[in-house]
Homo-oligomer: A and B are copies of this chain.
């Protein structure tokens, strides 16, 4: 399998964690987001959205969207599971991941911050926007896992919720958000101690700057 990614892409980072948890290796291809390489004609022919990541299967089929890729990996390589067995718990884990994937990350990613600046906002304004989006999102995420004392967001083992949380916590730090969510911090620290998470960190990728 070939993984099209970029060291700092949160979405590619999620897929790297899932692959590591499953013990799968892929051949990496790097696309520099700040240089806009993901918009090259060559890459858009692979992924019409021009977004990272894409996972190219051995038969050439291209899978896109980090959550869809993670679900595919979980369905085809079931151990260890990335979702609990109970349908209600599965829905809770997916909702937590989606609260990040739909309501936090898209509003604070590079593309949107660049669009805000193209519309006359300063770089500081754009970073302030990102901090507000993340803080409001984290207030809700903390409420979704409050009251439980599992090591991970929804249990004794990491799930899609943890896979989506770790890169978002790193983004929060990068934007200078004052971290005031004790459960999220605890879960993130637990994740960081696992090799599957640590090895997926942007700093450890060959294309890191």
Give me the interface of A with B, judged by CB distance under 8 Å: 48-51, 57, 61, 63-65, 67-69, 71-72, 75-76, 87-88, 90-92, 94-95, 98-99, 101-103, 105-107, 112, 115-116, 119-121, 125, 129, 137, 139-140, 143-144
Q: Which residues on B sit within 8 Å (CB–CB) of A137?
A: 49
User: Complex formed: what's the CA distance from A137 to B57 in Å?
Assistant: 24
Q: Which residues on B sit within 8 Å (CB–CB) of A64?
A: 95, 99
User: Complex formed: what's the CA distance from A76 to B85 in Å?
Assistant: 12
User: Complex formed: what's the CA distance from A95 to B48 in Å?
Assistant: 12
Q: Which residues on B sit within 8 Å (CB–CB) of A91?
A: 63, 68-69, 71-72
What's the nearest-Cβ distance from chain B to residue A6, in Å?
16
Beyond contacts A98-B101, A101-B102, A106-B106: 4 other A-B pairs, Cβ-Cβ < 8 A, are A50-B140, A68-B95, A72-B87, A72-B90
- Contact assessment for B120 and A48 in the assembled complex, using a CB-CB cutoff below 8 Å: no
What's the nearest-Cβ distance from chain B to residue A180, in Å?
15
Pull 15 A–B residue pairs with CB atoms less than 8 Å apart, ordered by A. A48-B139, A48-B143, A49-B103, A51-B103, A61-B88, A63-B88, A65-B99, A68-B94, A71-B94, A72-B91, A75-B90, A103-B106, A106-B106, A107-B107, A116-B119
What's the nearest-Cβ distance from chain B to residue A31, in Å?
16
Closest to A93 in B: B68
- Contact assessment for B98 and A65 in the assembled complex, using a CB-CB cutoff below 8 Å: yes
What's the nearest-Cβ distance from chain B to residue A124, in Å?
12
User: Complex formed: what's the CA distance from A50 to B95 in Å?
Assistant: 13
- Contact assessment for B88 and A72 in the assembled complex, using a CB-CB cutoff below 8 Å: yes
A69, A76, A95: residue with the most chain B Cβ atoms closer than 10 Å: A95
User: Complex formed: what's the CA distance from A204 to B50 in Å?
Assistant: 37
What's the nearest-Cβ distance from chain B to residue A199, in Å?
24
User: Complex formed: what's the CA distance from A68 to B96 in Å?
Assistant: 9
